Structure 1
Amino acid sequence: MAAVDDARTCGDRAALTEALHLAQHCLLGPAHLDLRLRLGEELLAVAGATMDSFDERRGLLWRTTNLYLAGDPHADRAMNLLRGALDAEPHLAMAYALSAMEVMCAIRAGSLVRAEELAETSADLGRRAGDHDVLGWYGAHLTTIRFFQGRAAELLPILGDLIASPELSEPNDAFLGAMATAASMAGDTWAATTALSRLRRPSLRKLRHNSLWLVTLYGAALAARHLNDAEAAAEIHDLLAPFAELPAMASFAVTCLGSMHFALAATALTLGRTDDGVTRYRAALAANEALGHRPAHVLAEAALADALARTGQSNEALLHRDKARAEADILGMSGWIESWDAAEAAGRPPGPTTPGGWTPGRQRPRDAATAVGVDAPTGRASCVRFGVGWRVRVGDREASIPDSLGMRYLATLVSNPGAVVAALALAGRQVGGHASDATSAQGVIDEQARHAYRARILALESQADEAEAEGRADDAERARSELAWLLEEISRATGINGHDRTFPTDAERARSSVQKAIHRALVRIREVDPAIGEHFAATVSTGTSCSYRPL
């Protein structure tokens, strides 16, 4: 702010507009909302005085962002003004920010399938703009969509990759909060507890007060409720209470989870304050209605029904429960409906913050991947690339799986059902269009070179396997490329002592590496959806030749 004051007094309007723009980036936490609104309006005023169309568009972008983050009813009007300005004079980076907010608006409207399509289009636009936030924003979009669909369990592998990703513009605590919530909802208590503990080390009060702060604590609040962690709930409640009237949003208003009253209601119930929880859920209902956030409104209805049932107000509880179910059916929130049905069948009160084994979404807990009796869906599968992962479908089931070398191999097999594909062809080593065992005869090398080659080969294989397991596809490809080059050099080498060193052939190495990669991909699929995993276990064969034969 001292730099902004200097820019105001120096008489250089270009310096002032840049300072006003950068200051808002530094003040994206909710505590600075009023100051940021004033700075944004000042930026617009300075741009208008100088007739600078670039700064005017930046000012409109900030106004739109700030009004959405404030939950202001005029935010939609500001977005239309921004859209009109960009239509008249395009700017790729600003268009990307606008497209990300349009995904958020689609989520609020309950158009979840449409929102996912817009998210993929937005991510493509961001990549063209060279924006460093593409992975984080797309991850936020997908996480929010799956949460409202009741399919949070699908996110566990993706969230794990995002938390550790070096591609994010900064360490992203919000994905830790999302992991805590998704894991607790999926019944993975260990992963949920670990994520919440990482957020609280040394204290939630130490979290950076930035554009991700609200959504991070929102996720922590729901996780604390599922885990019945009263100590965490008390800390979260005190931190969030001053921001109860704000929507839970992230970054440049790219995603919205609904009213913060919802998270505060969850912490109140965890602390045994049932009446306060009921009051907060009623406030969340009203706030989500004002925001036009239909999926969040549905979850508030269901949660209020749960809280009312706990206080003995069964008639009103039934009314809200029926409303939630009917609206969820309209919006395609099928995972939640299935969870409510399962909870009722088990004699548990069905509400989205019910702790103790309730698993929102059609997915089973992670350890169910080893369970028996999981029916494999029939029909032909499809693997479609989207964003940072793959959408895998079999019958009426669908799962989101992170990208990996094994998923690419699997997608190739699935796109050629019934075909027998050589592992060497899958691995990309072909001669004249046909898989070829190019190293059936090895040269001779001396003993010292033999040990050196062996050590390097083992190191490269280990690097490639580790990179694939961690989702670092580029690093895995580099290791595989060096390994292929090394094997080619060995095949032509002649030693000085006449000792032959018989290395496995390219075909054998391809068989081993492809088999391992596909196996890791199938493990991940099974973790997300055991039934889809069973389908592939029954239909995919690997070896020197591989195939996918639908049931």
Structure 2
Amino acid sequence: MALPQLEQRLGQAVRARLVTPLGDGRYAFAHDLVRASLCAGLPAEEARRRHRSVVRALERSPALAEHLESSDLARHAYLAVGELDPAAAVEHLLAAARDASGRLALEEAAEHYRRALELVPRDDPGRRATIGLALGTAEYQTRDEVRGRQTFEEVVALARELGDHQLLARAALTLHGLVHPGRPEQLQVDLIDEAHRTLAGRAARPAVPATAARELSVRAVALARRSQDDHELGFSLLARHDAIWTPGTLRERQGLIEELAAVARRAADPELEVRASTLRLGALLEQGDPRCLDGHRSLVTRAQSTALPRCRHEALSSQGSVATLQGRFDEAQAFIDEAYALGEQAHIDHVDIWNHQRWALCQLRGRFDQADELLQEIGEDGHLDPRLIHATTAVQRGDVEVALRYLRAASDASDACVPWLLPLWLRFQAQTAAASGDPQLCETARAAIKPFLGQWAVSIAGFDIHGPFVLWSARLDAAQGRWEAAVEGFSAARRSADLLRARPWSLEARAGLAEALARRGAAGDAAAAGALLDEVAAEAGELGKLQLLARVGGTGSAGTGAAPDIGPGSGRGAESGAASVFRFDGSVWTLGFAGRTVHLPDAKGLHDLHVLLGAPGSRIAAVRLLAPGGDEVVAAAGRMGSDTVLDREAEVNYRRHLARLDEETERALNAGDDRRAARLDRERATLLDELRSAAGLAGRPRRLGDEAERVRKTVTARIRHTLRRLDEHHPELAGHLRATVSTGTTCCYRETEGVPWLL
């Protein structure tokens, strides 16, 4: 086509809002369906050639490729297969899957992996197994366990076919890490056993999967080191670290962490580097090393610099733990809730860890009523080990009989808790024994924590901290009247807590020290004990630790019984006149209201609400929310002349498809499948966008009344769906928006006093 003719056609398309100029001589289709309808009219072979041309152009011009999402490039490559080498398409699909995973768009990642697997030939089982492993992981992480199990079974079959022991080990360890430690699956148990016997050469079945996983991880690390494959080595080091995580393995874990950090740097893998930093921070906390505070700041800086949601999630969880440790309780609550909102799709066990951090915060504050409410809310399946936290809450509250029943029912530590909570179990064992005063229980608990007296009790790789072990040893000494040892132990615990600026644990140590000094009765002890008690009462009142205030006989806020109302799942109350937040950074929405901040993935309904909040009191046409400039499309389309874009058959097919989408969306909503309803809603909105743009292009006027009604329904449906999501993640904001936003052919946010928005 000659250049003048091309420019004329482009001008017509721009005026009709079908094509958008991007500058520098570049153009893009205004809507996906315009492109789709044009492609649908092409012969299949020609369509593949066009998609291949796009891929080739983008491969030749990195500057141009920067303007396209990796998922779009992957789609072109997938549709070009037949004219494009399938291996090249697979590489683009895998790159898109990794990008989606980094954005926590795990369903999108799984779809890219499925397409890649579809293109890998059957005679390349090694490649199929590697991609299948990534696909199975994504399916488990999106809680699609049925498909995930099927995918893992296929990977295992391929590993057997290849005789690849390393692949079998990796599949076994990956599944072991994905399945809830308290609810093992039969496939996980059998696979760990098979891989263990294959590599270790043993016929006997190990007593428990955790034992086999520890032995298997040793073999996996050795194989990975020999292969000099950094990707495989990084995975194996993490698997080994997680398999052996107990207080007694600190030295080995430190070596693994340093090697993991080196692998991350060699591989230029920011996520792995942040993970290594998180594990290093946990190890420093275990040692009570004040360098952990610098390490924490470094972790947060590094994580934020990556702009990767997974890394930001690690940083927020760490910030919640450190803020709890240091007694910045309101900040801790905000960080913990923000981490949940951002990382809810990051890992299958994420909600369990989030619930544990919420519970730990209630415990340290002495808010046992709130802890009970939280335990009721999460039920038996919402925590890594519900038995242990129920029992620990009981002994903290003073219900020693309940705690003793649990303590005596556990035959040993491995029976008592999941491995990552062993430090909490040791703390609980010592605390319950001390509260009971039973000499035999005290001696058993003392022997259990003796090897760790120089360490802190740190669970879940640093995300939960239970004070220095010497504090619990001192509690045992005090329970048995060993006042000299108790004074020494509480003094050591105080020094250790002060090094970490851990005010709540310093207060616990000083309260114990005051009692021990008063009971020891040496010269000057009474005066020192009295001074300590006054000091503890003042600081406990400042921090709001009412239980500790009652224990030391404090006054002030304790005497009133008043306490800030901070529930187990909420942030701080809204300050009068404080600005609320409704912002989009290009990939994630930050929503702050009533003192709580959450993060949500992108959705069209959030864009609609953003526009309404930005024009309080104004009535905005629904068609303008559906597409900026949408009410001008009819006139623009009429100026296009007789060029045909959608013929009658295509239009009928599209409208039939629209009706089917309406029916499927309604079924999904009725079934409570919000995720599928959202996908269908997005597809329906795209279809409506394009039908509006294409209407009248062949001289056939559209019926504006019908179209206006469809627009109204679409905008209302996607705002309604967004509010349903907010009910789960930020009910206060959902309630406010329901009360102030009206929808219809025009939509409006009715401004309320005292709620300014940062947009």
TM-score range, shorter chain: 0.5 to 0.7
> Is 2:330–2:572's contact at 8 Å kept on the other side of the alignment?
no
Matched, 1:321 2:533: yes
CA RMSD of aligned residues (A): 3.4
Of the candidates 372, 379, 386, which is equivalent to residue 156 of structure 1?
372
How far 1:136 sits from its partner (Å)?
A: 3.1
How far 1:152 sits from its partner (Å)?
A: 2.7
> Is 2:323–2:331's contact at 8 Å kept on the other side of the alignment?
yes
Q: Which residue of 1 aligns with 2:252?
A: 35
Question: Which deviations, in whole Å up to 9, do the C-alpha atoms of 1:408-440 show, x marking residues without a partner?
Answer: xxxxxxxxxxxxxxxxxxxxxxxxxxxxxxxxx
> Is 1:29–1:209's contact at 8 Å kept on the other side of the alignment?
no
Separation of aligned partners in 1, 2:472 and 2:486: 10
Question: Which deviations, in whole Å up to 9, do the C-alpha atoms of 1:240-298 show, x marking residues without a partner?
Answer: 01111111221031122321111111122223322212211111111111121001101
Question: Which deviations, in whole Å up to 9, do the C-alpha atoms of 1:498-534 show, x marking residues without a partner?
Answer: xxxxxxxxxxxxxxxxxxxxxxxxxxxxxxxxxxxxx
3-state secondary structure, aligned to 2:489: helix
How far 1:33 sits from its partner (Å)?
A: 1.0
How far 1:239 sits from its partner (Å)?
A: 0.6
Q: Which residue of 2 aligns with 1:278?
A: 487
How far 1:208 sits from its partner (Å)?
A: 5.5
Of the candidates 143, 151, 160, which is equivalent to residue 359 of structure 2?
143
> Is 2:400–2:432's contact at 8 Å kept on the other side of the alignment?
no
Q: Which residue of 1 aligns with 2:389?
A: 175
TM norm structure 1: 0.58
How far 1:301 sits from its partner (Å)?
A: 0.7
3-state secondary structure, aligned to 1:252: helix
Matched, 1:191 2:402: yes
Higher relative contact order (CA 8 A, sep 6+): 1
Question: Which deviations, in whole Å up to 9, do the C-alpha atoms of 1:97-142 show, x marking residues without a partner?
Answer: 3212111211222212222222222222232x34333443333333
Instruction: Look up the equivalent residue of 2:484 and give its one-letter code.
Output: D
Matched, 1:101 2:312: no
3-state secondary structure, aligned to 1:202: coil
For residues 37 and 285 of structure 1, do their structure 2 counterparts lie closer, same or farther at Cα, with a shift above 3 Å needed? Answer: same
Out of 53-62 and 107-116, give the one that drifted further.
Answer: 53-62
Of the candidates 226, 230, 241, which is equivalent to residue 439 of structure 2?
230
Separation of aligned partners in 2, 1:100 and 1:390: 15
Separation of aligned partners in 2, 1:69 and 1:15: 28
> Is 1:288–1:294's contact at 8 Å kept on the other side of the alignment?
yes
How far 1:167 sits from its partner (Å)?
A: 3.3
Question: Which deviations, in whole Å up to 9, do the C-alpha atoms of 1:379-400 show, x marking residues without a partner?
Answer: xxx999753x8999xxxxxxxx
3-state secondary structure, aligned to 2:466: strand
For residues 190 and 16 of structure 1, do their structure 2 counterparts lie closer, same or farther at Cα, with a shift above 3 Å needed? Answer: same
Question: Which deviations, in whole Å up to 9, do the C-alpha atoms of 1:325-372 show, x marking residues without a partner?
Answer: 122122222332234328x9xxxxxxxxxxxxxxxx8999xxxxxxxx
Matched, 1:220 2:415: no
3-state secondary structure, aligned to 1:179: helix
> Is 2:388–2:416's contact at 8 Å kept on the other side of the alignment?
no
Separation of aligned partners in 1, 2:320 and 2:492: 25
Q: Which residue of 2 aligns with 1:432?
A: none
> Is 2:293–2:500's contact at 8 Å kept on the other side of the alignment?
no
How far 1:176 sits from its partner (Å)?
A: 4.3
**Any residues of structure 2 matched to 1:407-426 within 5 Å, and which?**
none
For residues 84 and 177 of structure 1, do their structure 2 counterparts lie closer, same or farther at Cα, with a shift above 3 Å needed? Answer: same
Matched, 1:246 2:463: no
For residues 115 and 156 of structure 1, do their structure 2 counterparts lie closer, same or farther at Cα, with a shift above 3 Å needed? Answer: same
Q: Which residue of 1 aligns with 2:592?
A: none
Instruction: Look up the equivalent residue of 1:165 and give its one-letter code.
Output: E
For residues 260 and 340 of structure 1, do their structure 2 counterparts lie closer, same or farther at Cα, with a shift above 3 Å needed? Answer: same
Separation of aligned partners in 1, 2:559 and 2:432: 19
Instruction: Look up the equivalent residue of 1:137 and give its one-letter code.
Output: I
How far 1:321 sits from its partner (Å)?
A: 1.2
3-state secondary structure, aligned to 2:245: coil
Instruction: Look up the equivalent residue of 1:323 and give its one-letter code.
Output: E
How far 1:73 sits from its partner (Å)?
A: 2.1
Q: Which runs of 5+ in 1 are unaligned?
A: 345-360, 365-376, 393-476, 479-551
3-state secondary structure, aligned to 2:458: strand
3-state secondary structure, aligned to 2:457: strand
**Any residues of structure 2 matched to 1:352-501 within 5 Å, and which?**
387=569
How far 1:69 sits from its partner (Å)?
A: 3.0
> Is 1:183–1:191's contact at 8 Å kept on the other side of the alignment?
no
Question: Which deviations, in whole Å up to 9, do the C-alpha atoms of 1:53-103 show, x marking residues without a partner?
Answer: 343333333323332333222222223333233223233233223212111
Q: Which residue of 2 aligns with 1:64?
A: 281
Separation of aligned partners in 1, 2:565 and 2:498: 37
Q: Which residue of 1 aligns with 2:31?
A: none
Q: Which residue of 2 aligns with 1:450?
A: none
> Is 1:110–1:294's contact at 8 Å kept on the other side of the alignment?
yes
Separation of aligned partners in 2, 1:51 and 1:159: 42
> Is 1:221–1:264's contact at 8 Å kept on the other side of the alignment?
yes
For residues 112 and 326 of structure 1, do their structure 2 counterparts lie closer, same or farther at Cα, with a shift above 3 Å needed? Answer: same
Q: Which residue of 2 aligns with 1:76?
A: 293
Instruction: Look up the equivalent residue of 1:182 and give its one-letter code.
Output: Q
Instruction: Look up the equivalent residue of 2:531 and give its one-letter code.
Output: L
How far 1:177 sits from its partner (Å)?
A: 4.6
How far 1:209 sits from its partner (Å)?
A: 7.5
Q: Which runs of 5+ in 2 are unaligned?
A: 1-217, 574-669, 672-759
> Is 1:97–1:252's contact at 8 Å kept on the other side of the alignment?
no
Separation of aligned partners in 1, 2:496 and 2:565: 39
Give 1 or 2: higher helix fraction.
2
Q: Which residue of 1 aligns with 2:464?
A: 255
For residues 47 and 141 of structure 1, do their structure 2 counterparts lie closer, same or farther at Cα, with a shift above 3 Å needed? Answer: closer
TM norm structure 2: 0.43
How far 1:17 sits from its partner (Å)?
A: 1.2
Matched, 1:166 2:384: no
> Is 1:67–1:74's contact at 8 Å kept on the other side of the alignment?
yes
Separation of aligned partners in 1, 2:439 and 2:308: 48
> Is 1:153–1:182's contact at 8 Å kept on the other side of the alignment?
no
Separation of aligned partners in 2, 1:233 and 1:180: 18
Separation of aligned partners in 2, 1:126 and 1:205: 29
Instruction: Look up the equivalent residue of 1:292 and give its one-letter code.
Output: R
> Is 1:282–1:304's contact at 8 Å kept on the other side of the alignment?
yes
> Is 1:159–1:178's contact at 8 Å kept on the other side of the alignment?
no
Separation of aligned partners in 2, 1:6 and 1:280: 45
Instruction: Look up the equivalent residue of 1:194 and give its one-letter code.
Output: R
For residues 390 and 157 of structure 1, do their structure 2 counterparts lie closer, same or farther at Cα, with a shift above 3 Å needed? Answer: farther
**Any residues of structure 2 matched to 1:299-338 within 5 Å, and which?**
299-312=508-521, 313-338=525-550
For residues 151 and 51 of structure 1, do their structure 2 counterparts lie closer, same or farther at Cα, with a shift above 3 Å needed? Answer: closer
Q: Which residue of 2 aligns with 1:132?
A: 348
For residues 213 and 172 of structure 1, do their structure 2 counterparts lie closer, same or farther at Cα, with a shift above 3 Å needed? Answer: farther
